[in-house]
Structure 1
Amino acid sequence: MAKCTGQTLLNTLQIRADYSVKPAGLAWRSNTFFIVATVTIALFTDLFLYSLFVPILPYMLQDRVGLPDSRVQSNVSGLLAAYAGASVICSPIAGILADRMSTRQAPFLLGLLALLGATVLLFVGSTLPVLIVARVLQGISGAFVWTIGLALCLETVGPNNLGKTIGTIFSFISVGTLCAPLVGGVLYDKAGYPGVFGIAFVILAIDFILRLFVIEKKVARKYEVDDPDSVSDLDATQQDGTQDEEQQNDDDENQPLLVTKEDDHAAFKLSENQPRIARLIPILPCLGDTRLLTAFLVALIQATLLGSFDATIPTVGQEYFRFGSLKAGMLFLPLGTFDLLLGPVFGWCVDRYGTKVVAVGAYGYLVPVLILLRLPHPGGKDQILLYGGLLGLCGIGLAATSAPSVVEAGVVVQKYYEHNPEFFGPGGPYAQLYGFNSMVYSAGLTLGPELAGQLKQVIGYGNMNLVLGIICAATAALCLAFIGGKPWVSTKRKS
C-alpha cells in the first residue's frame, strides 16, 4: 500500500512514469480546457513580464544605472532587442528538443526556471550587463514557452479549431500586453521596485503550479489503455480520425477548381533523397514553400510592429506630453483594448474565410492608420486624445495579425506531413515548426525596437511610422500573392 501510495505521488508530480498507476486528477489535468488554459497562462506570463518593465525601463536606466538622457532611448531599444535576440537563437533548439522528447512538460518547466532567474536579476540588478543578462534569460524562456505552448495547443484542439483557439488565446494574453505597462507604471509610481516585482513573483508562482499539474493528452492515453472512457474530454485526440476525415471533406470542397489531388500531391511530396541534416531536422525541407515563408513573414512584421510600439510609446509619452511612468503605461491601454476584444472574432474569420482575407485586410488596413500617426505632436489634452485614438485604431489591425501566421504555417506543414508520413515520423515536426515561428517572431521583436529607435532618432517619430506603413503595404501585397494559395484561382465554399 505504501509503495502504491508513493508511486501514485511520484506519478501525480510526474517525476516518474508508471502507466499502471494513475496520477491523481488525471481527468481534469488532461482536460482540453485545462491544457489550453495552462498554455494561455504560460504565454500570458511571458508577455506580462516582458511588458511589465517596458514603461519603467527608462527610469531603471536613469535611477539605477545612472545613464544620461541622451543614451536612454538607444539602451531601452537594446534591452528589448536582447530579449528577442536570445529567443531567436533558442527557439529552433526548443523545437528540436520538444519533438525528440516523449513529453513536453520538462522543457515547458525549464523555460519557467529561466524566467524566474531573469526576474530575480532584474530585481537586484543595478548595472547594464546584469540587466542585459536578465533580458537574455527572458528571451530563452520565451523561446521555450511559445514553441512548446503552440505545439501543445495544436495537439490538444486539432487543426480544425486552431484558428479560433489561437485568436482566443491571443486576445486573452493581449491583456498581458495591455495591463502590464499600466500595472508596472502604477506600481512603480506607488510602491517602487518592490511593488513591481512582487506581482511578477506571484504570477510566476501561479504559472508554475499550472505547468506542473498539466498532463498532455497523449500521456493521459497511456494510463487509459485498458479503460479509455474513464478520462473525460479527450475529444481532440480520441476523435482524430473523425476530425481528419471531416477536414479532408472540407478540404475537398474548398480545393481550387484548377488544382487536382495529383497536383496537390506533387506540390507537397518530398524527395526521398534528403540530406542528413534534413532527416535530423525534418522541418527544413518545408522551408522552401512560399506559403510557409509568407506565414513567417506575417509573424515577423507583426512582431516588428509590436516591438516598435513597445520601444517608442513610453518615450513619446515623455517627450510629447511630459508623462511619467504611470501615464506612459496608460498609453498602451487603447492599443490593447481592441486586441483583447477582437482577437477571437478575427480567429473565427480565419477558420471560416481563410488566412488570405484576414492577413491582406489587416496589413492593408494598418497602412493608412500608421501614416496618420504622423499627426500627433507635443501638446495638451487634444493631442493626447488624438494619439490615444490612433493607437486604438492600430490595436484593431494588430488583433487581426495574430491568427493568420500560426494557422497558415500549421496548414502547410500538415499537408507536408500527410504526404510524407514516413519522413516526419508519428509525431510530426510541429514543435520544430513553432520553434521556427517563434524564432521569426522573436527576430521581429529584435528588429522592431532597433528599427523604430533608430528611425525615430534620425528622421523623427512621424516619418518612422510612415516607413512602418510602407512595410505593411508590401506585406499585404505578399499575402495577396502567396498566403492561402494563389488569389486568381477560384474556389468553392460550403453554403
Structure 2
Amino acid sequence: MQKHHSSIAPDTAVPSPAGYDKHLQVYPVKEKDSTRKPVKPRPFLFRFRSARTFIFWTAATGLFTSTFVHSILFPLSPFIVSRIKNGDDINQQATYDITEESISTSRDTGILVALYAVGLLSGSPFFGWLGDKIKQRRIPMLLGILASIAANIMFMFSTMYWMLLVARFLQGVSNACVWTMCLCLIADNYPSDQLGLQMGKLVGFYPLGMMVGLPSGGVLYSKLGYQAPFIASMIFCVIDLLMRLIIIERSTAPREWFMQDDEVEDVMNDTCSSLHEDLKLKITWFQLIKQPRLIVSLLLTVVVATVMSGFEPTLSMRLASEWHFDAAACGLILIAYMVPSIISSAVCGWLCDKFGTKIVAIVSLVLAIPACIAMGIPTHETSFWPLIPMLAMGGITIAGCQSPVFPEIARAVAAENKSSNDRDGLARSYALFNAAYGTGMCLGPFMAGFIYGSIGFFWLCVTLSTMFVGCIPLVFIYLGDKGHLIKRKQSSTEGNDNSKITVSHSLSSFHSSHSVVA
C-alpha cells in the first residue's frame, strides 16, 4: 500500500505548466495532454495573425476582391468579345465597333456571363464537401484565390473566345470557394450571439465591391488600356493571397498558444478540436435540404439574388432611355443604392442578434414591396431626383431581407447535429447558399430582360415586388422562434454563461446556447 501511495504522490506534486488552468482537470483530454509533445513557440506576430479582427478583415478582403474581380467585367464584356471576334488590338475605336454586330456580340456576351453562374453552381458542392471534410479553411481559400489569378491571366492574354469562357468559368468556381469559406471562417471564430452583426458586416463588402468594381472597369479600360482592369484585379488578388497565407486559425493551432490569452474559452476550443480530429461526415445533403428553415432561407436568397441581378442591367437601360445618362452617370446613380445597402447589412445583422431573424425579415420584406414598385414610377416627364431616395430605400430593405439568412442557416445545421459541439454540414449549408444565389443570378437577368422588353420597367418592378409578397408567410411560419415574432432577450446571467462556453466552433453550438430557437 505504501508503494501505491508513493507512485501517485509524484504525479500529484508535478508543478503546473505555464498557462495551466485548474478547470482542465474536468475535461477528458487530460490524459492525452500528459503525453503531448512539447509545443512549438508562437509564430511571429501571433497575436495579430490570430486576432478575430484580422480574421474578419481577411474574410472581408476575400469577399471584396472576388466581387470586384467579378463586377469589373460587367461593362467590359461586350468590348472584350468584340475584340476577340474582330482580332483587333484594344483601342478606343473598338468601343464603336460593337453596334455593327450587336446581335452576335450580345449573344456571345450572354454566354460569357452565364458561364460565371455555371462555375458558381459547379464549385459550390465541391467546396461545401471540402469545407466539412477538413478543419482548416486556409487551404481551400488559397485554391480559390489561385483560380481567380489564373482567370485574370487568361483574360489578359486571351486570343480565342473559348479562353474567355474558361476564364469566366474559373471566376465562378473561385467565387464559390470564397463565399463558402469566408462565411465558415467567420462562423468558426465568433460567438453565436455576434454572428448576425459579423455576417451582416461581411456581406456588406459585396455591394462595396460592386460599387468600386463597376465604375473602375470602364475608367481603367478607357484611360489606361485593355489590360489595366485585370492588373488592378491582380493587385487585389495578391493582397488577398498574402492575408490568407499569414492567417492563423484557432481550430488548427496548438491549444497552448491561446491559453495565455483566454484560458477558459480556448480550453473549450481545444476540447472541441480534439473531438473533431477524426471528423467523419454524418450529415447528408438530404438531411440539410429537408430542414424547412433552411429551405425558406435558400428561397429568400434566390428571391434577393433574382431582384438584385434583375435590376442591375435594366436600371441602367432605364436611366439611359429616360434621362439619357451615359455609363459614368449610371454608375454614380447606383451609389445611391449600394451605400445604404452596405450600412443596412451591418445594422440588420445587429438587429437579428438583438430581436431575432423573424421580425427583421418580415419588416424588410414588407418595406421592400413599395420600395421596388416606387422605383418604376419616375419618368422623363418628372425628374430623376425622386429616384434617388427610392433607390436608397430599395438598398436598405433588400439588404435587410438577406441579413437573416446566415444565422438561420446556422440554426438549421445545429438542429441536425446531435452534439452541441458538432459543426458537421456547416460548409455544405453555405455551399447551398452559394448555389441558391447563383440560381437567382441566372434567373434575374433573363426574366428582367424579357419583362422589360415586353411590358416596360414599371411592370418589371411590380413583378419583382410580388416575389417578396410570396416570401412573407413562409418567413413568418418557419424562420426565427416558433410562435414568437420577436426573440426574448436573455438574462445577463445566461448571457455570461454563454460567453464563457462559446468557442471558435460557435455556429455548431447554437443547439445548446439557443435551444429555444433550434
What range describes the TM-score normalised by the shorter chain of this pair? 0.7 to 0.9
- Matches of 2:125 and 2:451, distance apart in 1: 30
Q: 1:164 aligns with which of 197, 215, 234?
A: 197
- Matches of 1:34 and 1:435, distance apart in 2: 24
- DSSP-derived class of the 1:219 partner: coil
- Matches of 1:290 and 1:414, distance apart in 2: 13
Letter matched to residue 234 of structure 2? F
What is the RMSD computed on CA atoms of the aligned residues?
Answer: 3.0
Give the drift of 1:96: 0.7
Structure 1 spans left out of the alignment, 5+ residues: 1-17, 243-277
Q: 1:441 aligns with which of 420, 423, 437?
A: 437
- Matches of 2:473 and 2:107, distance apart in 1: 32
Q: Name the structure 2 match of 1:385.
A: 385
Q: Name the structure 1 match of 2:475.
A: 479
Letter matched to residue 156 of structure 2? F
Identity of aligned residues (%): 26
Give the drift of 1:468: 0.6
- DSSP-derived class of the 2:480 partner: coil
Kept in 1: contact 2:377–2:458 (CA 8 A) = yes
Give the drift of 1:439: 1.5
Q: Name the structure 2 match of 1:410.
A: 410
Give the drift of 1:462: 2.3
Kept in 1: contact 2:284–2:425 (CA 8 A) = yes
Q: 2:354 aligns with which of 348, 352, 355?
A: 352
Q: 1:432 aligns with which of 418, 428, 434?
A: 428
1:286 and 2:288 equivalent?
Answer: yes
- Matches of 2:114 and 2:82, distance apart in 1: 19
Q: Name the structure 1 match of 2:374.
A: 372
Letter matched to residue 59 of structure 2? V
Kept in 2: contact 1:299–1:437 (CA 8 A) = yes
Kept in 2: contact 1:47–1:173 (CA 8 A) = yes
Q: Normalising to structure 2: TM-score of the pair?
A: 0.76
- DSSP-derived class of the 1:20 partner: coil
Give the drift of 1:346: 0.8
- Matches of 1:429 and 1:286, distance apart in 2: 8
Q: Name the structure 1 match of 2:45.
A: 25
Q: Name the structure 2 match of 1:34.
A: 54
Structure 2 spans left out of the alignment, 5+ residues: 1-37, 86-96, 272-279, 492-518
Letter matched to residue 316 of structure 1? R
Kept in 2: contact 1:359–1:401 (CA 8 A) = yes
Which runs of structure 2 are paired with 1:189-204 in the superposition (5 Å)? 189-204=222-237
Kept in 2: contact 1:31–1:233 (CA 8 A) = no
- Matches of 1:403 and 1:490, distance apart in 2: 16
Assess, with a 3 A threshold, how the Cα gap between structure 1 residues 373 and 186 changes in structure 2: closer, same or farther: same
Tell me which protein shows more helix as a share of its residues. Answer: 1
Letter matched to residue 416 of structure 1? E
Q: 1:45 aligns with which of 60, 65, 68?
A: 65
Assess, with a 3 A threshold, how the Cα gap between structure 1 residues 493 and 92 changes in structure 2: closer, same or farther: same
Assess, with a 3 A threshold, how the Cα gap between structure 1 residues 236 and 335 changes in structure 2: closer, same or farther: farther
1:154 and 2:187 equivalent?
Answer: yes
Letter matched to residue 250 of structure 2? K
Letter matched to residue 98 of structure 1? G
Letter matched to residue 451 of structure 2? L
Q: Name the structure 2 match of 1:8.
A: none
Assess, with a 3 A threshold, how the Cα gap between structure 1 residues 29 and 362 changes in structure 2: closer, same or farther: same
- Matches of 2:325 and 2:83, distance apart in 1: 17
Letter matched to residue 333 of structure 2? L
Kept in 2: contact 1:32–1:233 (CA 8 A) = no
**Cα offsets for 1:405-460 (capped at 9, x unmatched):** 0111112212322x356xxx954221111111111112212222222223223333
Which runs of structure 2 are paired with 1:244-255 in the superposition (5 Å)? none
Q: Name the structure 1 match of 2:249.
A: 216
Give the drift of 1:115: 0.8
- Matches of 1:445 and 1:94, distance apart in 2: 19
Kept in 1: contact 2:355–2:487 (CA 8 A) = no
Kept in 2: contact 1:48–1:176 (CA 8 A) = yes
Give the drift of 1:309: 2.5
- Matches of 2:283 and 2:221, distance apart in 1: 45
Give the drift of 1:487: 4.7
Give the drift of 1:30: 1.2
Assess, with a 3 A threshold, how the Cα gap between structure 1 residues 449 and 238 changes in structure 2: closer, same or farther: farther
Q: Name the structure 2 match of 1:399.
A: 399
Q: Name the structure 2 match of 1:361.
A: 363
Assess, with a 3 A threshold, how the Cα gap between structure 1 residues 209 and 234 changes in structure 2: closer, same or farther: farther
Kept in 2: contact 1:45–1:207 (CA 8 A) = yes
Kept in 2: contact 1:217–1:234 (CA 8 A) = no
Assess, with a 3 A threshold, how the Cα gap between structure 1 residues 123 and 491 changes in structure 2: closer, same or farther: closer
Which runs of structure 2 are paired with 1:57-68 in the superposition (5 Å)? 57-62=77-82, 65=85, 68=101
Kept in 1: contact 2:283–2:424 (CA 8 A) = no
Letter matched to residue 359 of structure 1? A
Q: Which moved more, 1:84-93 or 1:193-202?
A: 193-202
- Matches of 1:236 and 1:369, distance apart in 2: 44
Kept in 1: contact 2:354–2:489 (CA 8 A) = no
Give the drift of 1:364: 1.6
Q: Name the structure 2 match of 1:468.
A: 464
- Matches of 1:234 and 1:456, distance apart in 2: 59
Assess, with a 3 A threshold, how the Cα gap between structure 1 residues 170 and 107 changes in structure 2: closer, same or farther: same
Assess, with a 3 A threshold, how the Cα gap between structure 1 residues 490 and 469 changes in structure 2: closer, same or farther: closer
Give the drift of 1:157: 0.5
Letter matched to residue 284 of structure 2? P
Q: Name the structure 2 match of 1:96.
A: 129
Kept in 2: contact 1:159–1:410 (CA 8 A) = no
- DSSP-derived class of the 1:83 partner: helix
- Matches of 1:330 and 1:363, distance apart in 2: 26
Give the drift of 1:213: 0.9
- DSSP-derived class of the 1:162 partner: helix
- Structure index of larger Rg: 2
Q: Normalising to structure 1: TM-score of the pair?
A: 0.79
Letter matched to residue 356 of structure 1? K
Kept in 2: contact 1:115–1:141 (CA 8 A) = yes
- Matches of 1:310 and 1:27, distance apart in 2: 42
Q: Name the structure 1 match of 2:447.
A: 451
- Matches of 1:328 and 1:57, distance apart in 2: 17
Kept in 1: contact 2:258–2:266 (CA 8 A) = no
- Matches of 2:243 and 2:193, distance apart in 1: 26
- Matches of 2:385 and 2:161, distance apart in 1: 35
Assess, with a 3 A threshold, how the Cα gap between structure 1 residues 456 and 74 changes in structure 2: closer, same or farther: farther
Assess, with a 3 A threshold, how the Cα gap between structure 1 residues 209 and 473 changes in structure 2: closer, same or farther: same
- DSSP-derived class of the 1:375 partner: coil
Q: Which moved more, 1:386-395 or 1:312-321?
A: 312-321
- DSSP-derived class of the 1:366 partner: helix
Give the drift of 1:127: 5.1
Structure with more contact order per residue of length (Cα contacts < 8 Å, sep ≥ 6) = 1
